[in-house]
Amino acid sequence: MYNGVTYTDTEFSVQAPFTPTRTMYDFTLWQANDPLVHYLASDLNCIMPGRVGLLRSDLVPPILPSLNLNQVGLRYQPWGLGGQMQYVTNVDTNAYNLAYRDPLVWGSDYWNFPTGQTWNPNWLGQVHRGTPWQTIYLKSPNICEETGAIGSNIGTNTWEIWTGNTNWSDAEQSIPADDWHLAGLLTALLNTNASAAFFSINNPDPNAWAALFDGLTAVTNSSPYATIVLSSNSPAVFALGVALEAMRASQYQQEFHGVGDILATPQLTVQSPFLNWTNLYQRQYGISDAAYEAIPRQLLAQLGVPSVGTVVSANGQSTVQFTGGAGHCYVVQVSADLVHWTNLATNSPVNGQIDFTLPATTTGTRQFYRSVLWH
């Protein structure tokens, strides 16, 4: 009752004069590293301390205005820019590490993509591979094998943060060193050379390798920056053959199993005897990706994988299995004396293998089998 008037309250709840509130922001920062790589959520995932998480509206000083969305993002990291990697722990912070970004590609205008090329594998190293700031990888360092100062493996963390893909089982499918196998496969598909002219990747003679290098070109970053023609008589060229033989000897069963396996040899690229790679300034500002990969991009087209045979017996039946390159035909031959050979069949490999079942009449007799590259 107020001033003689009776008022009736029909509300069962009332609002207090002051209602305290707090607004919470759950945010994620999305930024592209390489502008050409932005098709997956992980491509835009900027993994940085203080750039993701939960914020309060009454936090002082406020963080959200400091994101500087009108500026180039910290995740934009072409050659020479540290960016995001400087703020993450247990990763490689070297902005000049060619194991996960192409050297001297300072920005998008520095790409040298292939145009008007003929049907050959020489331009493979110019094709963007779909991970930030990298073309198809023909160099020897493997980022996932990189260790830190105390021996801890930092390569896998570096690759996850670099790609934005923190699911390692998925991220490892795109590591640059896997391009060695891709290069071997594409070389076979793009090669127009006669198959019979291929040089065996498991040739043990450094002199034979030196002869193969004769006439190829290499790049030197000495003054002036120039292209040089290789000679088989050069001690540096002979050293390449020795290095390849040493790398072959370190492989499983002391064999290269694919053409791309030779790319693990540092002397072909990052330790080329024709490049001044011992000078820090030259490594950062003087050697392009094309210069590093000049030798392998010519060499791959001349190499082939020898066919390796094994005999498998099961349930009284013997099968000869030969390895072979995709897109080629091989003749399976038999001999009783390793001198006179008879053709048995012509086959193309399926999943890299030829299977030939031995006739039952050969059981108990001494026979020799081989595969010969036909075309």
Chain-centroid distance, C-alpha 145? 13
Between 124 and 61, the higher pLDDT residue: 124
Does residue 363 carry a pLDDT above 80?
Answer: no
Between 89 and 78, the higher pLDDT residue: 78
Q: In this predicted structure, what is the pLDDT of residue 58?
A: 64
Reduced to 3 states (helix: H, G, I; strand: E, B; else coil), residue 217 is: strand
Highest averaged pLDDT of the listed ranges 143-157, 319-333, 357-371: 143-157
Angle at CA 178, nearest 5°, toward 164 and 76?
Answer: 30
Reduced to 3 states (helix: H, G, I; strand: E, B; else coil), residue 330 is: strand
Does residue 21 carry a pLDDT above 60?
Answer: yes
Average pLDDT, the chain: 85
Q: In this predicted structure, what is the pLDDT of residue 140?
A: 96
Helix, strand counts (H, E) of the chain = 8, 12
Between 282 and 191, the higher pLDDT residue: 282
Q: How confident is the model at residue 345 (pLDDT cuts 50, 70, 90)?
A: confident
The model's pLDDT over 285-344, given as tens digits with 9 standing for 90+, comes to 999 999 999 999 999 888 877 677 888 877 777 788 887 766 678 888 888 888 888 888
Does residue 11 carry a pLDDT above 70?
Answer: yes
The pTM of this model reads: 0.77
Please state the rounded mean pLDDT for residues 187-212. Answer: 79
Hey, how many other C-beta atoms are within 10 angstroms of the C-beta on 43? Answer: 21
The model's pLDDT over 242-271, given as tens digits with 9 standing for 90+, comes to 999 999 999 888 888 888 999 999 999 999
Question: Tokens 């693990």 identify what position?
Answer: 264
Q: In this predicted structure, what is the pLDDT of residue 238?
A: 93
What the chain holds in terms of domains, given with CATH numbers, is 176-304 (no CATH), 309-373 (2.60.40)
For residues 184, 187, 193, 199, the Cα torsion angle rounded to the nearest 10 degrees is -20
Q: Rounded distance, CA 43 to CA 38, Å?
A: 5
Q: In this predicted structure, what is the pLDDT of residue 309?
A: 80
241: left (phi over 0), alpha (psi -120 to 50) or beta: alpha
Q: Rounded distance, CA 250 to CA 200, Å?
A: 17
Tokens standing for residue 35: 């502008």
- Let me know how long the chain is: 375
For residues 253, 257, 260, 266, the Cα torsion angle rounded to the nearest 10 degrees is 10
Q: How confident is the model at residue 139 (pLDDT cuts 50, 70, 90)?
A: very high
Please state the rounded mean pLDDT for residues 152-168. Answer: 90
Highest averaged pLDDT of the listed ranges 23-27, 113-117, 172-176: 172-176
Residue type, 219: V
**Backbone phi, psi, residue 320, to 5°:** -95, 130
Q: In this predicted structure, what is the pLDDT of residue 66?
A: 58
Highest averaged pLDDT of the listed ranges 180-189, 221-230, 260-269, 317-326: 260-269
Percent of the chain with pLDDT over 70: 89
